[in-house]
Amino acid sequence: MIVSCVSNASAPLLPELKEWLEQSDRVVAVDGGLDTCMNISCVPDLVVGDGDSMSREAQRYAKSLGWQPAPKEKDQSDFELALEAISEWPASRVRAFQSLDDRWDYNFDAFLAASQKSFPLEFWTERSLSFILNSQNSIFKWPRPEFAEIQWTGRLSVFPLSSRFSVEAKGLKWPISWKAQSLPCRSLSNEISGRELELQLLEGALAVLFERKI
């Protein structure tokens, strides 16, 4: 099952967004992400959030879809609530759209929340695609046939999402065998040198970011 999650980040809409949502088995609108869905004529299967970033029109529409507003005072973000809901489904691939922008505090929080989930999760922006590696999804291989039509620069970065982590890689220009016992730790940038890339996470959690050509 492919699940797409649409949030409300102040970032350019992906030109492929409407097509990719139509190809999804289920679509989750995260709060103001419902406005995005409405603008591209997509009817979500689930609406999650407290409504603070929805337009009034979207709030009325959300209620018609069975939306139950979350409390405004809560410990979890709306995106975390969406991930919890998705955890109840047999999702084999989860794509997060409009989840990242120039608010790096929100972005880091989204990555940390994703690192605690068992399903594979992708964060898409106009310029990048990020994957989360953790104990449930510890081996990453590239290229992938589902991304064959997208142009990539061949550059990537990896950065830790846990205080203890260890990762090894094959197919990079500069070899990586990276292990650390505590944060903070800087990210590492690299380039794909061969036709295939393999990352193996031995401990902890990491995010892997690929740069798109625009």
Distances in whole angstroms, Cα of residue 173 to Cα of each of 37, 139, 154, 191, 192: 40, 19, 10, 5, 6
The last residue of one of the domains, among 126, 146, 177, is 126
Please check the confidence at residue 185 and state whether its pLDDT lies above 90: no
Pair of tokens at residue 125: 């922006």
Tens digit of each residue's pLDDT (9 = 90 or more) over 45-75: 999 999 999 999 999 999 999 999 999 888 8
Please check the confidence at residue 13 and state whether its pLDDT lies above 90: no
Q: Are residues 116 and 150 in the same domain?
A: no
* CATH assignment at residue 196: 3.40.50.10240
Q: Are residues 88 and 176 in the same domain?
A: no
Pair of tokens at residue 3: 């699940």
Closest C-alpha to 77, from 62, 99, 59, 56 = 99
Please check the confidence at residue 159 and state whether its pLDDT lies above 60: yes
- Domains of the chain: total: 2
Distances in whole angstroms, Cα of residue 161 to Cα of each of 44, 53, 145, 207, 212: 30, 27, 27, 7, 22
Residues contacting 47, CB < 8 A, separation 6+:
28, 29, 34, 62, 65, 66, 67
Predicted local distance difference test score (pLDDT) of residue 184: 56
pTM reported for the whole predicted model: 0.91
Query: What is the extent of the structural domain holding 34?
Result: 1-126
Cis peptide before 175 (omega within 30 of 0): no
Q: Are residues 171 and 120 in the same domain?
A: no
The last residue of one of the domains, among 72, 98, 126, is 126
Q: Are residues 152 and 197 in the same domain?
A: yes
Tens digit of each residue's pLDDT (9 = 90 or more) over 74-112: 888 999 999 999 999 999 999 999 988 878 888 889 999
Q: Are residues 186 and 87 in the same domain?
A: no
Q: Are residues 69 and 153 in the same domain?
A: no
Please check the confidence at residue 183 and state whether its pLDDT lies above 60: no
Query: How much of the chain, in percent, has pLDDT values that exceed 70?
Result: 96
